[in-house]
Structure 1
């Protein structure tokens, strides 16, 4: 079976390279990138009776943490890198 979905084993392998004391957050919605605090791991089955694990945010309002840091949205390719606009000389009141 070829699948583009990440398995629990692949998630564990990727997480094992991370600092074990780091908090876990979920990046959601590429068109309005937001960060969410993970609260639950839920086991279920899909329509073909295959096991599926869901990482879910909690029901509390504070699980929505706000916008993703720009460098995270860029790394996920959800946003283009933004360069500051070039500085222009300020005009004086006389228009010069």
Structure 2
């Protein structure tokens, strides 16, 4: 993804919405995005790094299940099938 791709995707979003970063597919968490850092990679090409905050409240907790499913980090969870209740057979 390029900066242009990111701008295009973000341009369809509410400009007042807070930005969150999804992290770690094995323990999906939501983090506050705090910095955008232009840099260069090892070959000298420009890259942009998105960094999470360093404050205690930078991690918001678990990623919403629908986001983890959309990222294919989790399978859709189906409720277990209902079984008839056991009756007291006295």
The alignment's TM-score, normalised by the length of structure 1, stands at 0.88
Q: What residue number does 2:65 align with?
A: 70
Q: For residue 21 of structure 1, report the CA deviation from its aligned partner.
A: 1.0
1:93 shift after superposition: 3.6
C-alpha distance in 2 between matches for 1:36 and 1:76: 15
Alignment partner of 1:21 out of 16, 22, 31: 16
Equivalent of residue 44 in structure 1, options 20, 26, 39:
39
Q: Which runs of 4+ in 1 moved over 3 A?
A: none
Q: Where does residue 82 of structure 2 map in the other structure?
A: 87
Instruction: Please state how far the C-alpha of 1:94 moved relative to its aligned partner.
Output: 3.0
Among candidates 18, 26, 33, match of residue 31 of structure 1: 26
Deviations 1:34-70 (A, max 9, x none): 1000011111110001111111011101101111110
TM-score w.r.t. length of structure 2: 0.93
**Root-mean-square deviation (Å):** 1.2
- What are structure 1's unaligned runs of at least 5 residues? 1-5
Aligned counterparts of 2:21 and 2:14: Cα–Cα separation in 1: 16
